């Protein structure tokens, strides 16, 4: 059996769809002196599984702040530049317990 790599560009030679004795390359090279080739594993669409995670992950830091809705004492926070660059950024908070979101302008 000949090499499985293209002598012109070095890419992997693949069997031609209608003829398993011919190996072809994406650069246009092909060879007919390949031995018998058996494709053992074909990926199937029904074997692919997508896992759905129904959970919200918080990646923002946690701070001491009282929620105006449920009065819980901890909230996640992040900063956003909502106005001009020479003005201070706005601090957003999200309650750890009830997920209520509010702004802190102090």
Q: pLDDT (tens digit, 0 to 9) for every residue of the chain, 106 residues total? A: 456 788 889 888 888 777 667 888 889 888 876 666 666 666 666 667 777 777 667 688 999 999 999 999 999 999 988 888 888 889 999 999 999 999 987 6
CA separation for the pair 71, 96 (Å, rounded): 11
Max intra-chain CA distance, the chain: 78
Edge-to-edge, what's the strand order for the sheet holding 90-95?
62-64, 74-80, 90-95, 101-104
Question: Among 51, 54, 87, 89, which one carries the catalytic annotation?
Answer: 87
CATH number at 62-104 = 2.20.25.10
54 given a catalytic annotation: no
pTM of the model: 0.46
Cα atoms in the 13 Å half-sphere on the side-chain side of 34: 20
- pLDDT score recorded for residue 87: 84
Residue intervals of the chain classified under CATH 2.20.25.10 are 62-104
> Is residue 75 a contact partner of residue 93, using CB atoms and an 8 Å limit?
yes
Question: Among 51, 56, 64, 86, which one carries the catalytic annotation?
Answer: 86
104 given a catalytic annotation: no
């Amino acid at each position: 059996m000949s090499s499985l790599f293209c002598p012109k560009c070095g890419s992997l030679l693949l069997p031609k769809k209608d003829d398993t004795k011919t190996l072809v390359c994406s650069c246009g090279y092909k060879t007919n002196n390949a031995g018998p080739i058996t494709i053992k594993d074909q990926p199937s669409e029904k074997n692919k599984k997508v896992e759905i995670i129904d959970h919200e992950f918080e990646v923002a830091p946690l701070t001491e702040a009282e929620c105006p809705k449920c009065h819980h004492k901890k909230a996640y926070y992040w900063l956003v530049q909502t106005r001009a660059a020479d003005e201070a950024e706005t601090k957003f908070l999200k309650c750890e317990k009830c997920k209520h979101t509010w702004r802190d302008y102090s």
